[in-house]
Amino acid sequence: MNDAMKDRAPAFLRNVLEGVRRLAPYEPGMPIEELQRRLGVAEAVKLASNENPLGISPKVRAALERASAGPLERYPDGSGFRLKRKLAELHRIEPERITLGNGSNDILEFVARVFLGPGRAALFSRHAFAVYPIATQAQGADAVVVPALPATSAQPYGHDLDGFAAALRPDVSVIFIANPNNPTGTWLQPGALERFLADVPAHVIVVLDEAYWHYQDPATRPDARAWLERFPNLVVARTFSKVHGLAALRVGYALSHAGVADLMNRVRQPFNNNGLALLAAEVALEDEAFVQRSVALNTAQRERLEREFKALGLIVLPSQANFLAVGFGRDAAPVHQGLLERGVIVRPMKSYGLPQFLRVTVGLDAENTRLLAALKEVLGT
Lowest mean pLDDT among 25-39, 296-310, 321-335, 351-365: 25-39
- In this prediction, residues 110-137 reach a mean pLDDT of 96
pLDDT tens readout for residues 247-295 = 999 999 999 999 999 999 999 998 999 999 999 999 999 999 999 999 9
Q: How far is Cα 381 from Cα 376, in angstroms, rounded to an integer?
A: 5
Percentage above 90 pLDDT, the chain? 84
Q: Does residue 29 surpass a pLDDT of 70?
A: no
Q: How far is Cα 358 from Cα 353, in angstroms, rounded to an integer?
A: 11
- In this prediction, residues 13-24 reach a mean pLDDT of 69
Q: How far is Cα 49 from Cα 362, in angstroms, rounded to an integer?
A: 10
CA-based nearest residue to 208, from 183, 184, 191, 228? 228
Give bridge partners of residue 271 from the DSSP assignment: none
Q: For the chain, count helices (H), then strands (E).
A: 15, 13
Q: Does residue 107 surpass a pLDDT of 80?
A: yes
- In this prediction, residues 211-221 reach a mean pLDDT of 95
The size of the chain, in residues, is 381
- In this prediction, residues 80-96 reach a mean pLDDT of 97
Q: Does residue 102 surpass a pLDDT of 60?
A: yes
Q: How far is Cα 294 from Cα 113, in angstroms, rounded to an integer?
A: 34
What is the pLDDT, as a whole number, of residue 3?
57
What is the pLDDT, as a whole number, of residue 37?
74
- Give the confidence band of 69 by pLDDT, cuts at 50, 70, 90: confident
Q: How far is Cα 98 from Cα 81, in angstroms, rounded to an integer?
A: 10
Q: Does residue 130 surpass a pLDDT of 80?
A: yes
Give bridge partners of residue 234 from the DSSP assignment: 206
Asked if the bond preceding 180 is cis, omega within 30° of 0, the reply is yes
Q: Does residue 307 surpass a pLDDT of 60?
A: yes
pTM higher than 0.85: yes
What is the pLDDT, as a whole number, of residue 163?
98
Q: Does residue 5 surpass a pLDDT of 60?
A: no
- Give the confidence band of 50 by pLDDT, cuts at 50, 70, 90: very high
What is the pLDDT, as a whole number, of residue 74?
86
Inter-CA distances, 113 with 31, 87, 205, Å = 30, 24, 12
pLDDT tens readout for residues 159-213 = 999 999 999 999 999 999 999 999 999 999 999 999 999 999 999 999 999 999 9
Q: Which domains does the chain have, with CATH numbers?
A: 27-56+289-379 (3.90.1150.10), 58-284 (3.40.640.10)
Q: Does residue 106 surpass a pLDDT of 60?
A: yes
What is the pLDDT, as a whole number, of residue 41?
74
What is the pLDDT, as a whole number, of residue 255?
98
- Give the confidence band of 25 by pLDDT, cuts at 50, 70, 90: low
DSSP conformation class of 351: G
Mean pLDDT for the chain overall: 93
Q: Does residue 352 surpass a pLDDT of 90?
A: yes
CA-based nearest residue to 90, from 267, 214, 192? 214
User: What Rg value do the Cα atoms of the chain yield, rounded?
Assistant: 21
Q: How far is Cα 234 from Cα 228, in angstroms, rounded to an integer?
A: 6
Task: Tell which wins on pLDDT, 109 or 42.
Answer: 109
